[in-house]
């Protein structure tokens, strides 16, 4: 129902049983998951490759499967991705593509759930379309989903938590929240509060809530103890910040909030204004909860950045996605109110059929309007993704042309550019910390342009430039072998 109140039926069929409702919910969830995976698999027809963090998760999955986990190098540990990549390691060279399917399926499901939640919050179909369109076309969303980052998954789990909670399915909502807690530590306070609220309301068994909380903490900390000997290695790594991060700003918290504001387009800001009006008019607890969650999550990221964490854009995607859903809901609600007022003002002119036509046209217009600000950045974003995919796709053939992984590692220590360490380690079947950055003989140097506009790295000054083993469009493998080299 979009605008008008439908007449109450004179007879009501028997309501479905609780078992039938649970079965319907499960069927819908599996249908969404299967559809998202199918569409994500089709995206592999486009140039595709993981980026730095996903490559590390893929390597760690292989190492867990071989009981040889080493996490002293690479990004922060994330439990949920490595659960998947450990299984995917059984499929050998297909593991990277399998992870990309999961990460992209999460992003696709999140778009569908953005529609559902925005509609459920009072935005109707127009609000759902606006939220889904704005999220789907955002350049930061496309980039992170395409490169296999986990942000699409966490937004999907957050929105699924909200959707199931509003539907009264608290068990499923809690389990989705647990999955979010396995992807980002910022979710922990909200997961803990939700679990305590469910216990207070006696809606879940205490063993389930406490067991899930303990499991989340254990899955974050114990693998790091195994792989690095440091329970808190992930937290320490998160504070090893690259130059230019918001944490180096004069006011890191303000810089984070400014970055979040830049992710929100003008139509979204207008939608958020409408959502604020909707909240004041309707006093809807669900809308109030979404507002509080978005603001609290942004505040947490701002605080963590002030405390030394990087505060990069990926940290902001979850709360900004929630704000996009709110903005879509607000825009849809305002549209509905406008059409209702129009019908009341000119009842003889705006009849039922004309009203439906107005709604359809307005829905399309709102969807296009919310997506339009991101159109101009779509092509550059796709070009950047294609370049990154070319880097990963070219490397396996060059390794074979240079004599193979075993011969190259016998030659000397491998070196490459900072952001390509995991992909080189994957192709050489090494731990990430075995690939270094500053070449010293004996060495095998994987020299590369990390982007189309940068100079090749690393420098060959210390090892010379005499023995090129293989050359491609993006890469050059240079050897300075020691005794027993290739």
Instruction: Of 365, 383, 238, give the one whose Cα is nearest residue 312.
Output: 238
Statement: residue 156 has pLDDT above 60:
yes
Q: pLDDT-derived band of residue 50, with 50, 70 and 90 as boundaries?
A: very high
Q: What is the mean pLDDT of residues 104-111?
A: 98
**The predicted structure's pLDDT at residue 23:** 52
Q: What is the mean pLDDT of residues 59-71?
A: 97
Statement: residue 339 has pLDDT above 90:
no
d(CA 51, CA 391): 10
**The predicted structure's pLDDT at residue 201:** 94
d(CA 427, CA 356): 57
The CA distances from residue 93 to 96, 186, 219, 427, 430, in Å, are: 7, 33, 26, 9, 14
Query: Taking the CA of residue 167 as centre, how many other CA atoms within 13 Å lie in the half-sphere pointing to its CB?
Result: 21
Domain residue spans in the chain? 47-379, 402-480
- Model confidence pLDDT, tens digit, residues 389-430: 999 999 999 999 999 999 999 999 999 998 999 999 999 999
Statement: residue 78 has pLDDT above 60:
yes
- Phi-psi domain of 49 (left: phi exceeds 0; alpha: psi -120 through 50; beta: other): beta
Which of these ranges, 12-21, 75-84, 246-255, 332-341, has the smallest mean pLDDT? 12-21
Statement: residue 6 has pLDDT above 60:
no
Exposure pattern of 288-310 as b/e (b: 16+ CB <10 Å)? eebbebbeebbebbbebbbeebb
**The predicted structure's pLDDT at residue 441:** 92
- Model confidence pLDDT, tens digit, residues 345-391: 766 655 555 566 777 888 888 899 999 999 999 999 999 999 999 99
Query: What share of the chain has pLDDT > 70, as a percent?
Result: 91
Burial class (CB in 10 A: 0-12, 13-18, 19+), 483: exposed
Q: pLDDT-derived band of residue 18, with 50, 70 and 90 as boundaries?
A: very low
**The predicted structure's pLDDT at residue 21:** 52
**The predicted structure's pLDDT at residue 288:** 95
Q: What is the mean pLDDT of residues 206-224?
A: 96
Q: What is the mean pLDDT of residues 32-36?
A: 95
Which of these ranges, 200-204, 312-316, 339-343, 418-422, has the smallest mean pLDDT? 339-343
Q: At what angle do helices 95-118 and 18-42 cross, to 10 degrees?
A: 130
Report which of residues 308 and 244 the model is more confident about. 308
Statement: residue 3 has pLDDT above 60:
no
Q: What is the mean pLDDT of residues 238-264?
A: 85
**Residue 448 forms beta bridges with which residues?**
457, 475
**The predicted structure's pLDDT at residue 351:** 55
Which of these ranges, 94-108, 299-313, 377-391, 404-418, has the smallest mean pLDDT? 299-313
Query: What share of the chain has pLDDT > 90, as a percent?
Result: 76
**The predicted structure's pLDDT at residue 186:** 94
Q: What is the mean pLDDT of residues 185-205?
A: 96
d(CA 241, CA 309): 7
């Amino acid at each position: 129902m979009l605008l008008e109140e439908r007449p109450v039926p004179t007879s009501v069929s028997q309501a479905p049983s609780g078992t039938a409702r649970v079965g319907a919910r499960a069927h819908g969830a599996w249908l969404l998951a299967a559809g998202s995976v199918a569409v994500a698999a089709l995206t592999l027809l486009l140039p595709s490759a993981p980026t730095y963090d996903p490559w590390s998760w893929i390597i760690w999955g292989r190492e867990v499967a071989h009981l040889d986990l080493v996490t002293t190098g690479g990004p922060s540990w994330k439990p949920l991705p490595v659960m998947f990549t450990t299984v995917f390691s059984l499929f050998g060279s297909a593991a990277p593509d399998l992870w990309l399917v999961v990460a992209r399926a999460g992003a696709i499901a999140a778009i569908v759930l953005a529609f559902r939640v925005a509609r459920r919050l009072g935005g109707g179909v127009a609000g759902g379309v606006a939220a889904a369109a704005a999220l789907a076309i955002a350049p930061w969303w496309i980039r992170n989903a395409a490169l296999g980052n986990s942000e699409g998954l966490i937004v999907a789990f957050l929105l699924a938590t909200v959707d199931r909670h509003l539907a009264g399915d608290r068990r499923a909502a809690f389990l989705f929240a647990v999955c979010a807690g396995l992807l980002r530590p910022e979710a922990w306070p909200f997961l803990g509060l939700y679990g305590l609220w469910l216990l207070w309301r006696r809606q879940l068994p205490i063993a389930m809530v406490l067991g899930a909380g303990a499991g989340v903490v254990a899955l974050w900390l114990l693998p790091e103890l195994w792989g690095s000997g440091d329970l808190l290695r992930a937290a320490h790594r998160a504070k090893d910040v690259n130059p230019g991060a918001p944490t180096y700003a004069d006011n890191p918290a303000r810089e984070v909030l400014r970055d979040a504001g830049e992710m929100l387009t003008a139509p979204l800001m207008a939608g958020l204004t409408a959502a604020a009006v909707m909240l004041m008019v309707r006093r809807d607890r669900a809308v109030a909860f979404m507002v509080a969650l978005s603001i609290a999550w942004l505040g947490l990221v701002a605080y963590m950045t002030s405390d030394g964490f990087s505060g990069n854009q990926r940290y902001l995607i979850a709360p900004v996605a929630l704000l996009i859903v709110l903005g879509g809901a607000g825009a849809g609600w305002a549209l509905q109110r406008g059409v209702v007022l129009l019908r009341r003002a000119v009842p003889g002119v705006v009849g039922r059929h004309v009203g439906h036509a107005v709604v359809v046209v307005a829905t399309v217009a709102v969807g296009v309007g919310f997506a339009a600000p991101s159109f101009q950045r779509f092509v550059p974003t796709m070009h950047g993704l294609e370049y990154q995919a070319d880097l990963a796709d070219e490397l396996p053939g060059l390794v074979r042309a240079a004599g193979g992984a075993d011969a190259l590692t016998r030659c000397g220590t491998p070196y490459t550019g900072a952001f390509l360490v995991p992909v080189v380690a994957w192709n050489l079947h090494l731990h990430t910390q075995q690939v270094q950055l500053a070449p010293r003989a004996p060495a095998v140097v994987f020299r590369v342009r990390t982007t189309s506009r940068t100079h090749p790295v690393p420098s060959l000054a210390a090892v010379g430039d005499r023995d090129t083993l293989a050359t491609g469009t993006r890469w050059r493998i240079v050897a300075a072998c020691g005794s027993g080299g290739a």
